[in-house]
Amino acid sequence: MNRALTIAGSDSGGGAGIQADLKTFQELKVFGTSALTAVTAQNTLGVQGVFPMDAVAVANQVQSVGEDIGTDALKTGMLFNTEIIQAVSEKIKQFGWEKVVVDPVMIAKGGASLLQQEAVSALKKHLLPLCLIITPNIPEAEVLTGMSIKSMDEKKEAAKRIHILGAKNVVIKGGHDEETNESVDVLFDGIEYSYFSTPRIMTENTHGTGCTFSAAITAKLAKGSSVHEAVSVAKDFIQAAIANPLNIGCGHGPTNHWA
């Protein structure tokens, strides 16, 4: 049985974070394990509270999974602060894990901060050099590079700059590029660019899309897929999830993990 680990925050509303990751792992038929970095009080209306874990508690969870169950691939989501980023980076190095997917979660759609501003430099310094794939959306890529990204050429340039920071493969997602009627994700592997395009679906129910997308990539890597294949399957998976909304709650509903 292939195994996948998620190191991320809990979303009590079940649409994003650890909950989205484990549901996605289950759908893609890998055994999911988890290390919680924070608990959020959250629903489709927004984030009502953020309660970070102690970095030692995060490290202990990863240690427990690593020394017994092990993992074929892992992803990081909400990491919240510098201490947690350092603890997670140390554990990745200790276990020698290479199939590492980093979803650089920064701000929830409702505006709540899921990564302290001063932790961005720790993310760049400690975690990016350890990651096989990083999956920023456009606002996250702008924070990582200091660029303003409006065109495809700027997306490509940002991917190149993030690659130079140490990420072996960079996927800049097109979901926020709302002026186009296609959502185009750009993958840069250090040599070539690949493009993954799907028709844009106009919907309010996109809560947790980033988490679900990176979890799907992680599951496919755990099963032995190449980076290109994993991104391609994840793009189709998230498209189907967005196309079949659940209409749960009164606000931004979750994507449908079993679509």
Cα atoms in the Cβ-side hemisphere of radius 13 Å centred on 219: 24
- How far apart (Å, rounded) are the C-alpha atoms in residues 70 and 11? 25
- How far apart (Å, rounded) are the C-alpha atoms in residues 167 and 135? 10
136 binds ligand PLP (CB under 6 A): no
Rounded to a whole number of angstroms, the distance between the first and last alpha carbons of the chain is 23
Contact 153, 177 (CB under 8 A): no
**Candidates 23-31, 65-73, 108-116, 150-158; binding stretch for ligand PLP (CB under 6 A):** 108-116
Residue from 66, 175, 208, 253 in contact with ligand PLP (CB under 6 A):
208
- The yes-or-no answer on residue 210 being catalytic is yes
135 binds ligand PLP (CB under 6 A): no
Residue from 6, 14, 17, 205 in contact with ligand PLP (CB under 6 A):
17
CB of 78 to ligand PLP, least distance (A): 4
234 binds ligand PLP (CB under 6 A): no
Contact 107, 139 (CB under 8 A): yes
Phi, psi of 102 (to 5 degrees): -110, 115
Instruction: Render 48-59 in DSSP notation, one character per residue.
Output: EEEEEPPHHHHH
**Contacts by residues 142-149 (CB-CB < 8 Å, ≥ 24 positions apart):** 143/106, 144/104, 144/120
55 binds ligand PLP (CB under 6 A): no
8 binds ligand PLP (CB under 6 A): yes
Query: Which is nearer to ligand PLP, 45 or 164 (by Cβ)?
Result: 45
**What are the CA-CA distances from residue 91 to residues 2, 15, 62, 69, 118 (Å)?**
20, 27, 7, 15, 21
Give the active site residue among 155, 173, 220, 235.
173
- Binding to ligand PLP (CB under 6 A) within 71-90 occurs at 77-78
Give the active site residue among 145, 198, 209, 218.
209
- The yes-or-no answer on residue 206 being catalytic is yes
9 binds ligand PLP (CB under 6 A): yes
Contact 238, 213 (CB under 8 A): yes
Query: Which is nearer to ligand PLP, 24 or 209 (by Cβ)?
Result: 209
109 binds ligand PLP (CB under 6 A): yes
Catalytic residues, by residue number, are: 173, 206, 208-211
Catalog residues that contact ligand PLP under the rule CB under 6 A.
8-9, 11, 16-17, 40, 42, 77-78, 105, 108-109, 114, 207-211
